Amino acid sequence: MRRPSSDGLPHPLGHTESVAGGQTPSVARGFGGACRGGARSLGPSACRTSPPRGEVRQAAMLGGFLPASRPPVGDLPMSETQAVPQDPQLADNPLYLQRRERADADKPPSRATALGAVASVRAPGTSSRQEMMEGILAQDGDLVAGHFGTVHYKPVTVCGVELKLEPLQPSIGTAVHGIDLATAIEEPDMVAFLRALWLERRVVAFRDQSHLTREQMVAFAERFGEVGAPFGEREHMPNSPHDLNQQIKAPGIPDMLVLPSDATVPNAASGWHCDATWQPRPPMASVLMCREAPPVGGDTCFCDCYGMWEGLPREIKERIEHLTAVHIGTVGHQMDGVTPVAVHPVARTHPETGRTTLYVQQGFVRRFAPEHGIPEEEERELLRVLKLQEGRPEYTCRLRWEPGTIAMWDNRAVLHSASGDFWPHRRLMERLTILDWDQARRAPYYAPVP
């Protein structure tokens, strides 16, 4: 039933709103005034999906421009874009006819016109994209526009070297262009800049480093910490016939892992994990060099552990912040037939930034420490909730490998996951593990801020 207006007459489009100047139809062009006037033709779900009044009024003022998240007009039945039939009982009422004439002038466009309007919102044309970029640039003078509407950071000059910093995602990951790591690491100020960038962005990739030798790659890693054994501290990785990683170490550089993949040695995709958390004192960082890359695929994704923690509901944080979890190594990490196990806090304090990370992952965490006495069903559900944070788009960046790309990431603040989608093509990677110089900071701990 149509809602009567203040003069007792039903509005032709079924509803009115009180705005400055009197009663006016609340109709958004392109969306047919869905829900209030046409709820019967749309069904009950329409009232749940139509925009709030404020957004409808704003949309009318903006000429029908609504966010792309709104239901597309193409989902509306044709009856919603057709004229509302006249009421025979009011056919001779002048006030009703006047209102109807005004409503007809405001009626929604045709279905095709409305669909075109939505398409223009979702895929802006050249002029609207240019306007969008100009608006962004006007707000942030540190940005410059690139090709096809992309935005990149302006070059920065460090130690006389002009660098271009390309964000991989708003909150995590930066690709650095225009640097030669073979010479740049000789400048203390450059090393300090790169370390600060790494702590802030957690993942830093350097393009065009194919000329780096393995020895120079080691020298680069040594500027940030102590180069450890492939999976951490040497005392926890004894050489033995059961060490399955002996056969893929670089000749002459036993701390470097060589990771080849091709049609005969396929690369298995890995789940989300931090490297070697089954160690009592896991490594601080990892460095990975791409020597050969497939034509497509084989990317590595990174997930921000700060975001994972901060995105949890408060009640979940309070439930888990003082828990510890058991990290169990896989078969490939066995030494002398023994599977390594370590216990670490679920909430971890980053020793250099002081921020809290969620230190739980699907790769190595299977349960909470037994002393907490958490019932099995509750434990399983709690771990499921925590692991749902992994890989959420708002916390994640994706690194596309190219020959000569070298990346360093903070194992204390990010998870990573390798893609195995490039078979039968060849990929050749080399990896180093970095330990914190300060041994007191190596073991994970939680120190909540008062």
Query: What is the DSSP code string of 268-305?
Result: PP--SB-TTTTSSS--SEEEEEEEE--SS---EEEEEH
Q: Does one domain contain both 161 and 101? A: no
Q: How many domains does the chain divide into? A: 2
| pLDDT band, very low/low/confident/very high, at 40 (cuts 50, 70, 90) | very low
Q: Does one domain contain both 160 and 290? A: yes
29 domain residue, yes or no: yes
pLDDT digits (tens, 9 = 90+) for 5-36: 444 444 443 443 433 434 433 333 333 333 33
Q: Does one domain contain both 162 and 105? A: no
Which pLDDT does position 16 carry in this prediction?
A: 38
332 domain residue, yes or no: yes
Specify the range with the lowest mean pLDDT, choosing from 84-93, 150-159, 172-181, 204-213. Answer: 84-93
Q: Does one domain contain both 112 and 44? A: yes
What's the average model confidence in pLDDT over 291-312?
96
446 domain residue, yes or no: no
449 domain residue, yes or no: no
Q: Does one domain contain both 88 and 231? A: no
- Hey, what long-range contacts does 384-389 have (CB within 8 A, 24 or more apart)? 385/316, 386/312, 386/316, 386/320, 386/346, 386/358, 386/360, 387/272, 387/360, 387/361, 387/362, 389/308, 389/311, 389/312, 389/358
Sign of CA dihedral 214, 216, 217, 219: positive
CATH of the domain at 317: 3.60.130.10
Q: Does one domain contain both 392 and 433? A: yes
Q: Does one domain contain both 103 and 190? A: no
Specify the range with the lowest mean pLDDT, choosing from 116-120, 357-361, 373-377. Answer: 116-120
Q: Does one domain contain both 306 and 179? A: yes
450 domain residue, yes or no: no
The answer to whether the CB of 217 falls within 8 A of the CB of 287 is yes
Q: Does one domain contain both 208 and 268? A: yes
Q: Does one domain contain both 104 and 185? A: no
DSSP H or E segment with residue 201 = helix 188-201
Domain end point (choices 81, 105, 123): 123
Which pLDDT does position 249 carry in this prediction?
A: 76
Helix, strand or coil, per DSSP, at residue 228: coil
Sign of CA dihedral 72, 73, 77, 80: positive
| pLDDT band, very low/low/confident/very high, at 113 (cuts 50, 70, 90) | very low
pLDDT digits (tens, 9 = 90+) for 176-216: 999 999 999 999 999 999 999 999 999 999 999 999 999 99
Q: Does one domain contain both 316 and 392? A: yes
pLDDT digits (tens, 9 = 90+) for 392-409: 999 999 999 999 999 999
394 domain residue, yes or no: yes
379 domain residue, yes or no: yes
Specify the range with the lowest mean pLDDT, choosing from 54-58, 136-140, 270-274, 292-296. Answer: 54-58
132 domain residue, yes or no: no
Q: Does one domain contain both 172 and 76? A: no
Domain end point (choices 123, 143, 176): 123
Which pLDDT does position 127 carry in this prediction?
A: 53
Residue 113, domain extent: 17-123
pLDDT digits (tens, 9 = 90+) for 255-266: 999 999 888 877
